[in-house]
Amino acid sequence: MEKFKAFCIFLSFLFTFLLFMSILSLFLVPNPSEIISSLKTEEMIYSLKLSIATSLASTVLVILFSIPVGYALSRHDFIGKSIVKSILDLPMAFPELVLGLALLLLFGQSFIGKFLESFGIKIVFTKIGIVIAQFFTALPYAVRVIYSTFEGINPRYEFVSRSLGYGELETFFRISLPLAKNGLFASTIITFARCMGAFGAVLILAGGSYMNTEILPITLYLNISYGNLGMAITSGILLIIISFIAILIFEKFEGVNSSNFKKVESIRN
Amino acid sequence: MSKLSYLEVKNISIELGEFKLKDINLKVKKGDYLTIIGPTGSGKSILLETIAGFYKPKLGKIYLAGEDITNLPPEKRKMSIVYQDYMLFPHMTAFENIAYGLKKKIKSKEEIEKRIKEICEILNITHILKRNVKTLSGGEQQRVALARALVIEPEVLLLDEPFSALDVKTKENLRNLVKKAVKEYGTTVIHITHDFEDVWSLADRVAVMKGGGILQEGSVEEIFYKPSVNFVAEFVGTNVLKGEVIGKDENGLTLIKVGDTVVKSVDMGNGDVLISIRPEDVVVFYGEKRCKVKNIRRRGEVVEITLDLGGETLRSLLTPNMLKTLNVEDEVSISVDPNSVRIIKSLKQKISYKN
C-alpha cells in the first residue's frame, strides 16, 4: 500500500479511537450508583425537564422561521439578499459567548428590550432568555439546511402546480413543503440537537442560575465548578444520549435521502 | 389585435441572468400547432415560461383571446405545461397527479373520474393509474404528464422538449398519441423541440429562435424550403445555393444553372438567385459526371454526402445501401424534383463567389 494512503487511514483510526475512548470514559470512569443517585436529584430532573421544554419550544420557533426564510432565499431574488445570507451565516462562525453578549445588550440595554419589558416580557436572566439564546444559536443551521433543501427541488414542480390552477400559497403547501419533507425533518433534528447543546449564549443571556435557568449544559458547568464530578458527568451522559438518539433518527432517514444528509454534513464541517 | 391570432406575444423582452429575450413577436391561431426550434441557449424555454406567466417580461404584452394577460398570475392563464423531465409530483400516484389540476376546477368526484378515464384511454395509461410515479418508465411518465396537462382542457398547451429524453420508438408512439389527443381536445399547442421529426409530424407552423430572438416564423414548408436567413437554412439543414436563371423549359419550369449543373424549379425568377434544396430531395445517380463527391458521413440511419457542383456545395441524404459502390472523389449526377427547388431570393447584382 502507498505510504501516504496508509498514513491517512492510520490517522482516521487514531482519531476515531481517541474520540471513542473519551466518550467511553464518560460512561466508565464514574461509579454507576453515583450516576443513578445524581439522576434522581431534584436539580437533575429540573434541568432535564427544562432542557427538553426549552429546546422543543425553540425548535418549533426555529423551524417556523427558517422555512419561509430558507424558501425566500432559495426562490426569490431581492435587494439585500446577499447581505441577509451573510448575516444569517454569521452566528455559525461566531463564538457562542459573543452571540450571548450581543443578545444580552440587545434585549437588556436597547429599546427592543425596554419595549418588550413594557409588555411585561422579560428576556434577560429568564427562561424566555434560554429559548431566545437557543433560537439564535440554532437558526442559522436550520436556515442553511432548509435553504439547500429548497435549492434541491426543481422550481418547475411549482411552475406546473401554478399552471394547473393553484396559487402561490396553495402550491407551497401542496407541493413545495411535501417535497421538502426530508430536509425539514433533518433540519428539525439538527435544530433540536443544537438547542439541547447550546451553552455560551444561554449562560450569558439567561444567566445560568441554579434551579431557575439551569439546562443540562449549565448543570454540567455549575457542578464542575463546585467540584461535583458525579453530577457533571451525569448531565454529560444525558447530553450524549440525547445527541446519540438524534443521530440515530438522522441516520435512519439518511437512507431515504442521502443527499440531504450530505448537505447537512457539509454545512456542519 | 386581429381576430385570427388567439395567442399574441408582442415585443416581449426579458432578462434572466445569462438568458434573455429581445423583442419577441409571435401570433398563434386557435387550434394551431406551433413548434419553436433553435439551438441550446436560444431562449426557447424562457419564452415558454414567460408565456405561462412564471416570469414577468420587462417590456411587451401577451394577449390571450384578446385579453391582456401580461400581469395575470400563471394559475389564472389556463395554460398547462409539460417538461422534458416530466415533473410529476413524486409524492402522488399517477392518478393523483392527473387529478391535481382537475380537483381545482371541478368538485364532483364522478366528473373528475370520468374525465380522467377519457384522457387515459386516449393516452393508453389506464392500467398504470394506481402506480407510484417513481416506478414508471420514461414514456409512461411523460404520458401521465401529458394527461395531467390535457385533462384540464387548457387554452394553450405548452410543451418543452417533451420527447427528448425518450427512445426513438417511444417518441414515435407518443407523437401519435399527442396528435390524437390534441385533435380530440382542439388544443392550441406551442411545442419546443430540437427534433425535426416533431416538426414534420406535428406542426402547422414553425418559429426559429437564436440568441433570444425569433429569426423566422412560418409554415413548415416555408421554414424548410424557404429559409429567410442563412442561420435558419443551416439550422434546419437546407442547402442554400447561388444560381443563375438561364431560361425556361418547354413545361414553363425555370432553368437555373448552379455551378456546372442545371436544375429546374417551379418558382419564377431571373438573373442571379438564391435557391434552396432539402438534402433529402436530392437524387444521386451515375450519369453525366458533373458533381464530385467530396465527403461521406454516416448520420444514424442515413448517410450524408457532400457534393461539389463546380463551386457550389450541395449536401444530400442517401440510404446506406446506395453507398456500396460510391466513394469519395467519384463523379456523379444529381436530379431534383422541380417542386423541391425553391427560389428564396433574387440577387440584384452579379455576385462574386467568396470561396
Same domain (yes/no): A37, A168? yes
Q: What integer pLDDT is reported at residue A1 of this predicted model?
A: 66
Q: Does residue B354 lie within any of the structural domains?
A: no
Q: What is the pLDDT of residues A127-182, one digit of tens each?
A: 999 999 999 999 999 999 999 999 999 999 999 999 999 999 999 999 999 999 98
Q: What is the reported pLDDT for B59?
A: 93
- In a shared domain, residues A24 and A38: no
pLDDT digits (tens, 9 = 90+) for A82-110: 999 999 988 888 899 999 999 999 998 88
Count how many domains chain B has. 2
| 91-120 in chain B: CB under 8 A from chain A | 91, 100-101, 104-105
Residues B146 and B211 in one domain: yes
pLDDT band at A268, cuts 50/70/90? very low
Which of these three, B214, B230, B246, is where a domain ends? B230
Mean pLDDT score of chain A, rounded to an integer? 90
Number of domains in chain A: 2
B75: domain CATH number is: 3.40.50.300
Inter-chain contact A163–B49, Cβ cutoff 8 Å?
no
What is the model's pLDDT at position A258? 45
**pLDDT in the model for residue B18:** 80
List the domain range (segments joined by +) for residue B210: 5-230
Interface test with A, best of B58, B75, B103, B115 (most A CBs within 10 A): B75
Instruction: Output A81 or B347, whichever has higher pLDDT.
Output: A81
Question: Is residue B352 domain-resident?
Answer: no
Q: Looking at beta carbons, which residues of chain B come within 8 Å of A166?
A: 75, 104
The share of chain A scoring above pLDDT 90, in percent, equals 72
Best to test chain A binding among B16, B48, B54, B152 (most A CBs inside 10 Å): B54
Query: How far off is chain B from A177, nearest CA to CA, in Å?
Result: 11
A4 and A44 both lie in a single domain: no
Q: What is the pLDDT of residue B97?
A: 97
Query: Do B281 and B158 belong to one domain?
Result: no
φ, ψ of residue B140 to 5 degrees: the values are -65, -45
Under the banding of pLDDT at 50, 70 and 90, the label for residue A113 is confident
Give residue A259's pLDDT.
47
Residues A49 and A143 reside in one and the same domain: yes
Q: Which residues of A touch B101 (CB under 8 A)?
A: 164-165
Three-state secondary structure readout of chain B: CCCCEEEEEEEEEEEECCEEEEEEEEEEECCCEEEEECCCCCCHHHHHHHHHCCCCCCEEEEEECCEECCCCCHHHCCEEEEECCCCCCCCCEHHHHHHHHHHHHCCCHHHHHHHHHHHHHHHCCHHHCCCEHHHCCHHHHHHHHHHHHHCCCCCEEEEECCCCCCCHHHHHHHHHHHHHHHHHHCCEEEEECCCHHHHHHHCCEEEEEECCEEEEEEEHHHHHHCCCCHHHHHHHCCEEEEEEEEEECCCCCEEEEECCEEEEECCCCCCEEEEEECHHHEEEECCCCCEEEEEEEEECCEEEEEEECCCCEEEEEECHHHHCCCCCCCEEEEEECHHHEEEEEEECCCCCCCC
- Choose the final residue of a domain: B213, B230, B247: B230
- Establish if B93 belongs to a structural domain: yes
Does the structure show a pLDDT above 70 at A266? no
Whether B52 and B164 share a structural domain: yes
Residues A4 and A93 in one domain: no
Verify that B193 and B80 share a domain, yes or no: yes
Chain A's closest residue to B105, CA to CA, is A165
Residues A128 and A261 in one domain: yes
Let me know if residue B55 belongs to a domain.
yes
Domain finish residue from B230, B246, B262: B230
Q: Is B153 on the interface with A (CB under 8 A)?
A: no
On whether both A12 and A63 belong to a single domain, the answer is: no
The answer on A128 and A155 residing in a single domain is: yes
Q: Does residue A160 share a domain with residue A199?
A: yes
The minimum CA-CA distance between A267 and chain B, rounded to whole Å, is 26
Query: Which residue from B minimizes the CA distance to A168?
Result: B75
B255 domain-assigned: yes
- What is the end-to-end Cα distance of chain B in Å, rounded? 47
Cβ-based contacts under 8 A for chains A and B:
61
Residue A262 reports pLDDT greater than 90:
no
Inform me whether the pLDDT recorded for A260 exceeds 70: no
- Note down the domain range covering A8: 1-30
pLDDT tens, residue by residue, B106-131: 999 999 999 999 999 999 999 999 99
In this structure, are B131 and B101 located in the same domain? yes
Q: Chain B within 8 Å of A253 (Cβ-Cβ)?
A: no
pLDDT of residue B4: 63
Same domain membership, residue A230 and residue A146: yes
Within chain B, which residues score under 70 in pLDDT? 1-4, 348-355
Is B296 found in the same domain as B151?
no
- Name the pLDDT band for A36 (thresholds 50, 70, 90): very high
| Chain A hits for B81, Cβ within 8 Å | 159-160, 163
Contact B54 A159 (CB under 8 A): yes
Report whether pLDDT(A265) > 50: no
Q: What is the pLDDT of residues A184-219, one digit of tens each?
A: 998 999 999 999 999 999 999 999 899 999 999 999
For residues A169 and A68, the answer to whether their CB atoms sit within 8 Å is no
A173 neighbourhood in chain B, CB within 8 Å: none
pLDDT in tens, B274-313: 888 999 899 888 877 778 888 888 887 888 899 998 888 8
A256 shares contact with chain B (CB less than 8 Å): no
Closest residue in B to A176 (Cα–Cα): B89
